[in-house]
């Protein structure tokens, strides 16, 4: 069994994909727009170029993304994505990138379980944890 994350950006998916490409080195493996779907009844006028489904590879992990219903109010509650950094400098780079335009919930720093750990919400509302494993 393999569990994967699927994030719905409610109309900001293209922006999120570009952000994760720049910040995390995400690679787009597949991207399908609403206009590409066989059932156009699901596509509201003006949403033709929104992302119906995309698959990203971030490191060794697949993350799937979509604009979903395009209501303009993405909500990411009750979970966080965790990124393992190679070292403290990598953690700093990742944390600073992910938290830019977002909110720092726990500043990146030394903890009893890691030489570098922090939590932030990115500018889309996705919760992230960055850790350097001891």
CATH number at residue 88: 3.30.720.110
CATH number of the domain bearing residue 13 = 3.30.720.100
Host domain of residue 34: 5-66
48 and 90 housed in the same domain:
no
Residue found by looking up tokens 């971030």 in the block: 58
Write phi, then psi, for 83 (nearest 5 degrees). Answer: -115, 125
Write phi, then psi, for 80 (nearest 5 degrees). Answer: -145, 150
Per-residue pLDDT of the chain (134 residues; tens, 9 = 90+): 989 999 999 999 999 999 999 999 999 999 999 999 888 777 788 889 999 999 999 999 999 999 998 888 888 999 999 999 999 999 999 999 999 999 999 999 999 999 999 999 999 999 999 999 98
Determine, yes or no, domain membership for 49: yes
CB atoms within 10 A of CB 16: 22
Among candidate residues 66, 96, 112, the one where a domain is terminated: 66
Which two structure tokens, joined as six digits, stand for 7? 């994030």
Write phi, then psi, for 115 (nearest 5 degrees). Answer: -70, -15
92 and 123 housed in the same domain:
yes
- pTM, full prediction: 0.93
């Amino acid at each position: 069994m393999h569990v994967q994350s699927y994030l719905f950006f409610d109309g900001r998916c293209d922006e999120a994909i570009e952000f994760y490409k720049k910040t995390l080195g995400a690679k787009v493996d597949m991207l399908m727009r609403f206009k590409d779907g066989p059932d156009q009844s699901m596509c509201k006028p003006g949403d033709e170029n929104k992302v119906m489904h995309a698959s990203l590879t971030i490191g060794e992990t697949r993350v799937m993304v979509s604009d979903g219903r395009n209501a303009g109010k993405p909500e990411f509650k009750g979970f966080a994505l965790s990124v393992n950094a190679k070292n403290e400098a990598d953690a700093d780079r990742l944390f600073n990138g992910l938290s830019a335009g977002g909110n720092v919930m726990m500043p990146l720093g030394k903890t009893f379980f890691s030489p570098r750990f922090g939590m932030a919400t990115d500018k889309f509302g996705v919760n992230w944890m960055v850790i350097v494993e001891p």
